[in-house]
Structure 1
């Protein structure tokens, strides 16, 4: 598939109009997939193991009530920490299971063991329903029409991925904000070690930047079970030394599609770049992103590009560097901006029409 085809495919979004697999109440026992299930990613496998363990543990009424109270406000709760502090009978074995799953998830994402637990639980579906809760994990396939959820007996149920069910569902997932913060540190560190990004001394008198005054995305490809998006941008250009450089910028505030955010945060520090233009690729961590592998892939491609005395757009090489799995449930492509300049102000739509930035020029004075 060519870069152009990849871009068009990524920008089409996810069509969740497949076959409805639910009964009138929104639940049905799932049938085995023909030919066997597709191999899950290591992160998805860790999430699934934790979800099954949590579902079994909810047979303990006292623990079930404790979990219900912890997630009642809809916020993400650290699953390992929740189980570790509980004195109910089901919590101790669950804590051990979650600890193992957390170690697997951290390793799969290229993050250090001291990052802390990543697995979380939150409440989705109809919180007011008196029906017994189920435990689910977001599907690793963005185009999946069904979500598998487990009951306390270990039975699997299929939920419609496009519509929240009329039963309470505990969703096991990854703490995206923690993973993104730790992951971009890994990304920057490994890119620097590969020679793509270098430390820069601040200009003596200050420097010009492109500041984001507003940003929005039309579609972050998140269904009811996935919750908020975790979006970051890869800014690329040529450094003052003539070598390709990459900077990462996180957008922790950019949670919901169709909402305009006004962060007033810097996207491009122009003192780091030799030429006037720079490029931006906006991506989303859906949970499976291996930041160490991403850094190696980006570095391997960009280090082959030489400075020939004129600016060369770098969006296509960056997109080419994303492993093929990134077009499923790893770092989803959101949009790209070619040739942003120091003088760029006002609103700029991304090349795919999915993202929109509004910029102003902002001078950062030296201390």
Structure 2
């Protein structure tokens, strides 16, 4: 293929073709793992247990004299790990994303007892379009597994550490929000009339709202996806400037649907929100999220909406659900690969108000919220 032909192929490559290229890379890692597994088995069995269902890249690098198959696999994993981090723009926030994960805790006993595992990877595209899960055995044979029924045979998945990715991604989003809002023209950041009414004295207490308990409905997730990684986007209006206030909050305990979690997590610091009102959007972390673009999209949607409201004090907190709906509506599909990103939204959570068995607008989440006042220490 000459240079001109190669250039034309690259320019004409469709998103589906690009996804297929990435899919081949994941498949190659699973194949390399099947070849290297006999030499990695003892290391993996000493690392993966009932308390830790995965092995990180660092865990896999502990062999002093690895065999050729292991060196080949580790080289491929290291390269893919670097590519994954760069693709998400997370170089400043993490140095490890890829891992090997046992697909389900129910498989642990059989694997530790000696049953030979399969080696799989999560398919590309929307979950609703998955037809099967591909997996290899140690002889290189390809198996096709059901998307929703957990296999009886243990499965090791070459996957992204979703919790680490989400932690790094939210840190990037916070930095992006800060950078974007600090770079706005001065005429956009004049004090709002509401701010002038606030007491000048330093407050002696911090008003918050905590999430006491939460439960999600079963969304019939494929078994290969593992635990859910949920985070919250808290949206409202700044008390001191006519601009949105956006906070992103990790919820690392919220692993499975149909389970009630006593979170006791602070969700809203009311000093950051005007009118004592805020909305809480629940999102599920998704493969290949562009966190920088996501932050830019959220802030632009909120800012553009607020710009259409000339007298914000006339409507007060009634504009917040409208702003949140504008955020949800503008989340572009191409930021995500899977189709289960938006989980639910709690509109108009008010300061000093308790909510019990409070359902989200989508009826997919039920939560208890309560006010919490924290006394400042000297």
**TM class, shorter-length:** 0.7 to 0.9
1:100 aligns with 79
Q: Classify the secondary structure of the residue corresponding to 2:275.
A: coil
The 1:287–1:151 alpha-carbon spacing in structure 2 relative to 1, beyond 3 Å, is: same
Bigger shift: residues 185-194 or 147-156 = 147-156
Following the alignment from structure 2 to structure 1, what is the Cα–Cα distance between the partners of residues 202 and 98?
42
1:349 paired with 2:359, answer yes
The 1:47–1:366 alpha-carbon spacing in structure 2 relative to 1, beyond 3 Å, is: farther
| Aligned ranges 1:53-202 → 2 under 5 Å | 53-58=32-37, 61-73=38-50, 75-86=52-63, 87-89=65-67, 90-112=69-91, 115-124=94-103, 126-127=107-108, 128=110, 132-140=116-124, 141-143=126-128, 144-195=130-181
Which structure is higher in helix share? Answer: 2
> What count of residue pairs does the alignment treat as equivalent?
328
- Per-residue CA shift, 1:47-105, capped at 9, x if unaligned? 444323212322xx332343344325473333422331123303222221111111111
1:25 aligns with none
Q: Classify the secondary structure of the residue corresponding to 2:225.
A: coil
- Per-residue CA shift, 1:158-205, capped at 9, x if unaligned? 10011111212101211122111111110011011111899xx99532
Following the alignment from structure 1 to structure 2, what is the Cα–Cα distance between the partners of residues 47 and 202?
58
The 1:62–1:54 alpha-carbon spacing in structure 2 relative to 1, beyond 3 Å, is: closer
Q: Classify the secondary structure of the residue corresponding to 2:260.
A: coil
Bigger shift: residues 262-271 or 139-148 = 139-148
Following the alignment from structure 1 to structure 2, what is the Cα–Cα distance between the partners of residues 112 and 330?
26
Following the alignment from structure 2 to structure 1, what is the Cα–Cα distance between the partners of residues 158 and 80?
11
Q: Classify the secondary structure of the residue corresponding to 1:304.
A: helix
Larger relative contact order (CA 8 Å, sep ≥ 6): 1
| Aligned ranges 1:258-273 → 2 under 5 Å | 258-273=258-273
Contact 1:202 1:271 in 2 (8 A): no
1:337 paired with 2:346, answer yes
Larger Rg: 2
The 1:109–1:205 alpha-carbon spacing in structure 2 relative to 1, beyond 3 Å, is: same
TM-score normalized by the length of structure 1:
0.80
Gaps (5+ residues) in structure 1?
1-35
Q: CA deviation at 1:256?
A: 1.1
Following the alignment from structure 1 to structure 2, what is the Cα–Cα distance between the partners of residues 164 and 197?
50
Following the alignment from structure 2 to structure 1, what is the Cα–Cα distance between the partners of residues 201 and 29?
46
1:223 aligns with 222
Following the alignment from structure 1 to structure 2, what is the Cα–Cα distance between the partners of residues 237 and 216?
24
Q: CA deviation at 1:154?
A: 4.2
TM-score normalized by the length of structure 2:
0.78
Following the alignment from structure 1 to structure 2, what is the Cα–Cα distance between the partners of residues 123 and 147?
15
- Per-residue CA shift, 1:318-351, capped at 9, x if unaligned? 2123221356527711101111111331221100
Following the alignment from structure 1 to structure 2, what is the Cα–Cα distance between the partners of residues 197 and 177?
30
